[in-house]
Structure 1
Amino acid sequence: MLIRLNWITLRVRDLEASLRFYHSMLGLPIQRRFESRGRQIAMLGSENETKLELIEGSEPLLKPEAGVSIGYEVRSLDEAMEQLAALGIPIARGPVQPNPHLRFIYITDPDGFEVQLAEHT
């Protein structure tokens, strides 16, 4: 059996706030927006990569304290940190360099989910 990761779903309180964070600030493209069973949904991410599905609703099944983080790779962590500072997004943890080839930081989205930005060298 061949499988591949298609999307990761986060249930968010305010879809517009989450779209400002993930799309406007972090630059993830919005692939599509739609309504299903009375819920607003947005799929974000570039073509041919795993998508982030945001579903607006009041009952999150996955809570930030579950210990789940979403990881994205960046070309330059230093440039990413400068852009985050300019956008007023604080770094929650890091930078951490567990080995000579990897550096990363954590930021949090509007619902408190951790987003890891990593640079591989």
Structure 2
Amino acid sequence: MNLNMKYLILYVNDLEASLHFYRDLLGLPIKMQVDTYVEFETGATTLAVNTRKSVNELLDLGLTTDVPSASTFEIGFVTEDVPGTLDQLRQQGVRVVREPETKPWGQTVAYVTDPDGHFVEICTAIG
């Protein structure tokens, strides 16, 4: 079996809040949008969002709309300037949950959350 990760879709409650976070605050260009489904250009793997309501209507996956926190995984974005990026996001009202820290393996990492509570890691490249 030869699998390649092509995209990751986040199920969100508020499309406009997610667009504001990923497009306006993180600066990710929109690659494609069809109704409530939006893909962002992020490199080799596409990040997409779709509303929980739309996914339920289209796919009947049984998603709930009252998820208190989606913090069951994280999305990682690599940058050369973690502190500077974090400062820019903080100034725009993004919730910072972990300040920059250099890990034993040499990588600097910090964490913010998106409007639905997904952890977003802002980090330097490993190695």
| Pairwise TM-score range, normalised by the shorter structure | 0.7 to 0.9
Distance 1:34 1:20 in 2: 17
Contact 2:83 2:100 in 1 (8 A): no
Amino acid at match of 1:16: E
Question: By percentage of residues, which structure has more strand?
Answer: 1
The aligned residue for residue 108 of structure 1 is: 113
Task: Choose which of 66, 70, 88 in structure 2 pairs with 1:64.
Answer: 70
Unaligned segments of structure 2, at least 5 residues: 54-62
Unaligned segments of structure 1, at least 5 residues: none
Distance 1:32 1:80 in 2: 25
* Identical positions, percent: 28
RMSD of aligned alpha carbons: 2.1
In 2 relative to 1, CA 69–60 (structure 1 residues): closer, same or farther, beyond 3 Å? farther
The aligned residue for residue 52 of structure 1 is: 47
1:88 aligns with 2:83: no
Distance 1:103 1:60 in 2: 35
Amino acid at match of 1:52: L
Q: TM-score, normalised by structure 2?
A: 0.79
Amino acid at match of 2:13: R
Distance 1:89 1:53 in 2: 19
